[in-house]
């Protein structure tokens, strides 16, 4: 970590670059111009730093050609770990897909003035996740069900919801992998409607995200992981509230 001449009004930077010379030169130049700079040699190392709370960056400078964890997969994991602006850096033009997933691109070599001009030109793409404060099932919906149905019938309803979610997840995986935004939108609409009727709030909120943000497929891939978690929570609720 380098912090010489730190100016608190400038964003903290996490620099990810596997090339030692590039990493040290960029870090030194940015540090001398007032940035607090943390460095990582690999994508995995950067994700571990974020998970461990070692750094809370305002900007991530990420080399476009890293070994191991890299590309859009790394960008997805970085977005889950922080709210920083993610800027690609490279000596050659990255793919259109990678540029679209990031918040900006700087061609090497670049200086602090180039970075300053880039910052603020793009708003960081939002992390598309459900709010963990949402209850797994709307208590009012569950209370209404219990007034109208037997416990066995309610269990059948939520078992069907869980089964349907597993099928929808498989379909979403294929749609996201094939970059089919229309299928993502359609599946999200179905999840929103079905889970909404059943009061499965976390899953319904994620369905709405897939429907409205289907053009942001890289972020939808991260939201898919949240849907797995929401489904697991619904399964645990089912086992606790309606044991077989």
Rg (Cα) of the chain, in Å, rounded? 22
Q: Measured between alpha carbons, how far is 172 from 221 in angstroms, rounded to an integer?
A: 9
Q: What is the pLDDT along the chain (244 residues), one digit of tens a residue?
A: 444 344 446 788 999 999 999 899 888 888 888 889 999 999 999 999 988 877 888 899 999 989 998 888 899 889 888 888 899 998 888 888 888 888 889 888 887 788 777 775 544 455 544 445 568 899 999 999 999 999 999 999 999 999 999 999 999 999 988 989 999 999 999 999 999 999 999 899 899 889 888 887 777 887 888 898 889 999 998 888 888 7
Classified by CATH at the fold level, domain 139-241 comes out as 1.20.120
Vertex 173 angle, CA 172 and 174, to 5°: 90
Strand arrangement, sheet containing 59-63: 37-40, 13-16, 59-63, 85-90, 104-107
Token pair recorded at residue 29: 């130049």
Kind of pairing between the strands at 37-40 and 85-90 = unpaired
DSSP 55: -
Q: What is the structure's pLDDT at 134?
A: 67
Q: Within 13 Å, how many C-alpha atoms sit on residue 182's CB side? A: 0
The residue extents of the domains of the chain are 13-118, 139-241
- The DSSP-derived string for 76-102 is HHHHHH---EEEEEESSPPPHHHHHHS
Query: Which element (helix H / strand E) includes 39?
Result: strand 37-40
Neighbours of 5 (CB within 10 A): 13
- On whether the pTM is more than 0.75, the answer is no
Domain at 13-118: CATH code: 3.40.50.2300
In b/e form, how buried is each residue of 22-34, taking b as 16+ CB within 10 angstroms? Answer: bbeebbebbbebe
């Amino acid at each position: 970590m380098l912090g010489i001449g730190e100016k608190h009004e400038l964003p903290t930077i996490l620099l990810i670059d596997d090339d030692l010379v590039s990493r040290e030169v960029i870090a030194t130049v940015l540090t001398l111009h007032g940035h607090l700079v943390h460095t990582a040699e690999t994508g995995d190392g950067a994700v571990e730093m974020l998970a461990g709370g070692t750094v809370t960056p305002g900007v991530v400078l990420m080399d476009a050609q890293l070994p191991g964890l890299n590309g859009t997969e790394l960008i997805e994991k970085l977005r889950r770990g922080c709210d920083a602006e993610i800027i690609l850096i490279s000596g050659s033009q990255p793919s259109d897909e990678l540029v679209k997933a990031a918040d900006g691109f700087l061609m090497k070599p670049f200086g602090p003035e180039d970075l300053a001009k880039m910052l603020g030109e793009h708003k960081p793409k939002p992390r598309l996740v459900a709010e963990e404060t949402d209850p797994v099932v709307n208590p009012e919906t569950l209370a209404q069900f219990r007034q109208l149905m037997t416990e066995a019938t309610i269990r059948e309803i939520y078992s069907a919801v869980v089964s349907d979610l597993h099928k929808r997840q498989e379909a979403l995986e294929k749609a996201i992998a094939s970059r089919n935004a229309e299928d993502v939108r359609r599946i999200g609409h179905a999840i929103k409607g079905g889970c909404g009727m059943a009061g499965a709030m976390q899953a319904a909120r994620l369905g709405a995200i897939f429907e409205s943000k289907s053009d942001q497929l890289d972020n939808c891939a991260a939201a898919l992981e949240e849907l797995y978690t929401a489904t697991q929570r619904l399964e645990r609720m089912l086992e606790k509230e309606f044991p077989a």
